[in-house]
Amino acid sequence: MSGTVITTATTESPALPVPVRRVARSDLAARGEPFVWIMGAALVAGLAMITGFLGFVIYVGALTFWPQPIAVITTTQDKIIAGEAFRSETYKPRDEQLASASPEARAKITADLGIVERTLYRVGNYDLFGEDFVWIPSFDVKSTVYPKDMYFIERLEWGPFVGRVKELDVAGSKQPTPTLAQLRTAHAAAEVRRTEIEQLEKVEISEINHQIDDIRLGVRRAELEYGPGTAGAEAAKAEAAKETAKLEAQYKVLEQKVTALRQADEAVTVTLEAVDSQTKTLPLSRLVRFYPANDLTSADKWSIYGSRWLEFITAQPREANTEGGVLPAIVGTLTMMVLLSLAVAPFGVITALYLREYATQGAFVSFIRICVNNLAGVPSIVYGVFGLGFFCYIVGGSVDQLFFAEKLPNPTFGTGGMLWASLTLALLTVPVVIVATEEALAAVPRSMREGSLACGASKWQTIARIVLPRAAPGIMTGLILAMARGAGEVAPLMIVGVVKLAPELPIDLTAPFVHFERSFMHLGFHIYDTGFQSRNSEAGRPMVFVTTLLLISIVLMLNAFAIYVRTRLKRAYQVGQF
C-alpha cells in the first residue's frame, strides 16, 4: 500500500522544495532571551512587593512594644512637654505658625524653602490634657532633656501617664517620691488584690448570676410546658423562689467581701505629677505597668518588651481595644478556622466526588462546574448577608423555637455567632475545595482505578481505598487555600457574629464548655476596629501592625501544619510510582 504511493510520487517527479539556508533571526520570538528577562522582572517585582509588605509589618509590629525614652522638651514659649517620640515628618508651616521662631531659625527655614521637620510626641495624660499626642516643630524646641525620674505608666483607664511619681500612700503611711523598689513591692500586693476582686466578680458572682438565670429559665420552661398559673408551674415557681433566695444570700456574702476588698484596695493610692505640675491621685491597683523610661538597662528593656508581648497574647483588651491583649480574638479566630475546616472539608470533598466520579459528564455537569467556579467571585459581603438571613434568622430562629423557647424573645442561636460565622465562611470557601478536590481526583492515574476494579472491588471500595488516599495531598492543598482565604475574610463576619468586644470565649470552663452560639472577636475585625473605629486612632495604629503580624503568624502556622500533613501524605502515597 505505502509502496504504491512512493512509486506514483517518483514517476510524476514533483518540484522538490527549494533549499533555503536557515539563518538565525534577530527578532524577540526567535531568540526568547528577552522574555526571560521580562519574566524575571515580573517575579522580582512580585517578590519585592511581598517582602516589602511583610518586612514593613514585621518591622513596625516588632518595634511597637519596645520601651522608648521620654523626652522633656521646653518650647520657645517656655511650655514644657514630656513624651515618647512617636514619629517625624516634614511639612510646610504657614507664616503665622512661624511667628514664635527666632530670626535665625526663620532664616534657616527660608533657606530650606519653608520646609520644617516636626515630631509627634505621645504625651499621654489624656485625663489631664485632653489629648494624647502633640506635634512639636523643630524650630519650636528650646531644649530637650531626658530626666531619669520620668516614668511611663500604663493604667487601666485613660491610657498612659507620663510624669513623676510624687507620693505613695499605703493605707495612711505616706512615702514622698518612692523608689522603684518600693513601688514594685506595693504594686505586687495591689495586683494580688485586683485579681482577687476580678476573680470574685467575674467568676464567682457571675456563676451565681448564671444559676439565678437558669432557675428563672426553668420557671419559664415549666410555664411553657404546663401553661401559666397551673399547679405544675406554681410548684416550679415556689421551688425556684427558694433556690433563688439561697443564691441571693450567697451573693450578698460575696458582695460584702468585694466591697471590703475594694475599700482596702482604694486605701493604697499613688499620686502622679505631670510635667505641668498637675497631679492625679489614683489607687495603685489601677496601674498596669510602670518604668522610669530614661533609666533602663538593656535587661529591663527586654523584660518590659517581653511582658508587653505576653500581655498582648494572653490578656483581655482594655481601653476600647487599643491597649491590653487580644486573647479573645486569637481564640475566636482559631476556633472559627477549625470549625470552618471541619465544615468545608466533608462538604467540598463529597460534592467533588459526586461531580467527578458519579455524575454523567455532560452539559449539565459542566454548567454546575461553571456555577461553582463563579461562586468564588461573589463578593464576600453577599455571603455575609445570606448567612445572616439564612443561618441566623431562618435556621437559628427555628432552633430557638424548638430548643430555647424559654429564652425568647432573647435569641440564642437566632443571632450572629461562632457557628453561623463558620458556616458562612465554609460556604464562601467551598468552591476552592471543590475545584481543588476535582483536580486531585482527576489526577489519580487510571491504572490505579483499573487495578482495583480488576480485583473485584466495587466503585465505592475503589474510591475509598485507592482514589481518596491518592488524592488526599491535593485535597489538602485546597483546604489550605480555603483556610487562608477564610482567615483573612472580615466583611461577612461583621454581620454574622463578630463583635468589637466579647470577653466570653467560645470555649471555656462553664458547662457545656463549647458555646458556638456566642458572638466572638476576630483578629481581622480587631485590626479594622483599632485602626479605624477607636477614639484615638493614632494610639491604635501600632496595635494594627502588631495584630496584623499576629494574624499573619497564625495563618502561617496553620498553613505550615497543613503543608506538613500534605507532605507526609504525599510521601505515603505518591513517591516511587513506577
Residue 379 Rama label (left phi>0; alpha psi -120 to 50; beta):
beta
Question: At 513, phi and psi to the nearest 5?
Answer: 70, -40
Among 453, 481, 491, 501, binds another protein (CB under 8 A): 453
Contact status: 533 vs another protein (CB under 8 A)? no
Buried b (16+ CB within 10 A) or exposed e, 275-291: beeeebebbbbbbbebb
Distances (CA, A) of 269 to 71, 99, 172, 176, 178: 26, 44, 9, 12, 12
CB 62, min distance to another protein, A = 44
**Residue 264: all three cell numbers together:** 482596702
Contact status: 450 vs another protein (CB under 8 A)? yes
CA distance 427 to 439: 19
Per-residue x/- track, 141-180, another protein (CB under 8 A): ----------------------------------------
Residue placing its CB nearer to another protein in the complex, 229 or 362? 362
CB 462, min distance to another protein, A = 9
What Rg value do the Cα atoms of the chain yield, rounded? 34
Residue placing its CB nearer to another protein in the complex, 447 or 533? 447
**Residue 228: all three cell numbers together:** 401559666
Closest CA to 77 of 276, 279, 273, 274: 276
Q: Are 51 and 67 in contact (CB under 8 A)?
A: no
CB 461, min distance to another protein, A = 5
Per-residue x/- track, 355-374, another protein (CB under 8 A): ------x-------------
Residue placing its CB nearer to another protein in the complex, 448 or 554? 448
Contact status: 451 vs another protein (CB under 8 A)? yes
- With a CB cutoff of 8 Å and minimum separation 6, the contacts of 326 are 312, 313, 317, 521, 523, 526, 547, 550
Q: Are 151 and 138 in contact (CB under 8 A)?
A: no
Distances (CA, A) of 424 to 67, 348, 351, 394, 414: 42, 14, 17, 14, 14
Among 457, 481, 491, 514, binds another protein (CB under 8 A): 457
CB 364, min distance to another protein, A = 15
Per-residue x/- track, 6-45, another protein (CB under 8 A): ----------------------------------------
The interface with another protein within residues 301-340 (CB under 8 A) comprises: none
Contact status: 442 vs another protein (CB under 8 A)? no
CB 445, min distance to another protein, A = 8
Closest CA to 522 of 428, 432, 418: 418
Per-residue x/- track, 535-574, another protein (CB under 8 A): -------------------------------------xxx
Contact status: 465 vs another protein (CB under 8 A)? yes
Among 461, 481, 507, 559, binds another protein (CB under 8 A): 461
Among 247, 296, 405, 448, binds another protein (CB under 8 A): 448
Q: What is the largest CA-CA distance in the chain?
A: 127
- From 89-97, 332-340, 431-439, 445-453, give the range in contact with another protein by CB under 8 A: 445-453
Q: Are 314 and 328 in contact (CB under 8 A)?
A: no
Q: Compute the C-alpha angle 480/514/328, nearest 5°.
A: 70
Contact status: 188 vs another protein (CB under 8 A)? no
Which residues sit at the interface with another protein, rule CB under 8 A? 361, 445, 447-458, 461, 465-466, 469-470, 572-578
